[in-house]
Amino acid sequence: MRGPAEVRETFYLFGTLVEIEARGAPERVAREAIARVGQRLQAAHKDWHAWRPGELESLNAALAAGESRTVEAGLAALLREGRALSCASGGLFDPAIGRLIEAWGFHADVPPDGAPPPAAAIAALVARHPRMTDLTITGDEVRSDNPAVQLDLGAFAKGAALDLAAEDLRAAGVQDAVLNAGGGVKVIGRHGARPWRVAIRDPFQWGVVAAVSLRPGEALHTSGNYERYFDEGGVRFSHIIDPRTGRPMQGIVSVSVLDPSGARADAAATALAVAGPVEWPQVAAAMGVRAVLMITDDGSILATQAMHERLEPVPGGFPAPVRIVALPEAVPPPACANG
């Protein structure tokens, strides 16, 4: 068996490249562990995809028909987590709005082109009020009281998948690794003698705003309007849809969230982008995230104290002063969870 090595593998999953780098473990151990993780991620990509044959597509068909369906245990657990996160966000993160995602054309791996959907069609979908809290999950059986629910887990599937992959790597004997999937990063252990250091992209130009050294087990996820979008009439339409209006969020260019849970960081980045520059502190507190960096469309940079303390300067970074925003100290627990 070869000694400790640096092993990298790349997979195309969840509409992006997923890169796994393991360090310190014997090479055979690392390669076998990454191969098994790759297989698990491939299975998740298939079963969690809303628009291709698999577990989730079959579940969506059952929900639309008013029927219940027994799903794989991992998907049931993911839906419970998504429902709790949606509840905590006040519905600003809501994977039940798959029909709206589809109407805007953001259900495909490539951005849509053409005109926005008719306003009347969007209003009709919003009026049906699809929500994650419409789901009842009993064991592995899932049903919905609202046939308008169509699940699209894209707003937090990457974060949840990287969490699971990190657990698998640790269980296989890999103690130091970084997992990178588009706008999401999860780490275990360290990069040799130093922490894993991750850059936060500048959404206005090719470059970075700052860097963050991640502690073992932490995740950093960024959502924004600068990768998946389309332009029409001089207006940029983002893939992040506000469930309240059925329209793409406005005013926010990117949100980065640092948290031990990749799923929560991923979901919160979406919810805070929807919440906007005024309401986001209350939503962050309700979701239990403390380290947030937000960049608005006028270039303002807002950060919580917990995130500001973790930001590290980089050459050419911080294009604007960082304004520290306080989070509420206490937020009442949500009362919208279902069975």
What pLDDT tens digit does each residue of the chain (339 aa) get?
555 679 999 998 887 889 999 998 999 999 999 999 999 999 999 999 998 999 999 999 999 999 999 999 999 999 999 999 999 999 999 999 999 999 988 887 777 777 888 999 999 999 999 999 999 999 999 999 999 999 999 999 999 999 999 999 999 999 999 999 988 999 999 999 999 999 999 888 878 999 999 999 999 999 987 666 566 666 777 889 999 999 999 899 999 999 999 999 999 999 999 999 999 999 999 999 999 999 999 999 999 999 999 999 998 888 889 999 999 986 776 777 555
- pLDDT attached to residue 4: 65
Amino acid at 314: V
Burial of 95 (0-12, 13-18, 19+ CB in 10 A): buried
CA distance 180 to 158: 10
CA distance 120 to 125: 9
| DSSP symbol at 194 | B
List Cα–Cα distances, 23 to 5, 8, 72, 208, 298, in angstroms.
6, 9, 32, 25, 40
- pLDDT attached to residue 205: 80
- pLDDT attached to residue 230: 62
237: nearest Cα among 99, 92, 93, 116? 116
- pLDDT attached to residue 333: 63
Pairing state between β 196-201 and 184-188: unpaired
Sheet arrangement for strand 135-138: 69-70, 141-144, 135-138
- pLDDT attached to residue 234: 66
List Cα–Cα distances, 164 to 47, 78, 197, in angstroms.
15, 11, 21
Give me the helices (H) in 148-287, please.
Answer: 157-171, 262-287
CA distance 244 to 277: 16
For residues 149 and 135, the answer to whether their CB atoms sit within 8 Å is yes
Reported as half-sphere exposure (CB side, CA atoms, 13 A), residue 26 has a value of: 8
- pLDDT attached to residue 339: 55
For residues 161 and 167, the answer to whether their CB atoms sit within 8 Å is no
